[in-house]
Amino acid sequence: MQIENHWLTQARPCPSPFFNERPSDEVSLLVIHNIALPPLTYGGNAIEQLFTGCLPLDNHPYFKTLEGVEVSAHLLIQRTGELVQFVAFDKRAWHAGVSNFAGRTQCNDFSIGIELEGSDNQPYTQLQYKQLVLVTKALIDHYPLLNKDRICGHDAIAPGRKTDPGRAFNWSGYKQSLQALLS
């Protein structure tokens, strides 16, 4: 995996309008999320439509609950392993919301958000884990303040408010694969 001008060359670009400048150049945290639109439904382009502000609210009753929502992540890893990038890594994507990591609030200011197409209680695919490990290594190699100890789930920075990536996420397998690649 390669990063050029803060874009992953292996990802399909799908620029989101939902980002802004970081208050500093710091990138020191990786936050792992999940998303399925509608819930428990995979495939299609609803996630891309949400992150680009083009979600047709009348296509599904659940979509009406997202009216006016402006949200983005830096990267989506689909169940097929396809990578889609919405925001350059040096920009502030709107993925963490009210959050706190190690006593610091406003995690969007210093984090990268990766969405896995999935749900809290359904297993992720091996292709997703493989891509996540490769992307994580590329990010650690590119951003010197990011390391294997500064990776967490959305639930860790927004406890009680968020649950993703959920119980189905294999943290030990992911961390072991990442460690093997970093060694």
Q: Per-residue pLDDT tens for 148-181?
A: 999 999 999 999 999 999 999 999 999 999 999 9
Active-site choice (21, 82, 115, 117)? 115
- Note if the bond before 165 is cis, omega within 30 degrees: yes
In this prediction, residue 183 carries a pLDDT of: 86
Question: Helix (H) and strand (E) counts for the chain?
Answer: 4, 12
Is 21 marked active-site?
A: no
- One DSSP character per residue, 25-72 reads S---EEEEEEE-SSTT--SSSHHHHHHTT---GGGSGGGGGGTT----
The mean per-residue pLDDT over the stretch 36-54 comes to: 97
Each domain of the chain, given as residue ranges in start order, spans 3-175
CATH of 3-175, one of 3.40.80.10, 1.10.8.60, 3.40.640.10, 3.40.50.1100: 3.40.80.10
Q: Looking at the whole model, is its pTM more than 0.75?
A: yes
Across 4-12, average pLDDT: 98
Q: How far apart are CA 154 and CA 113, in angstroms?
A: 9
How many Cα atoms within 13 Å fall on the side-chain side of residue 146? 25
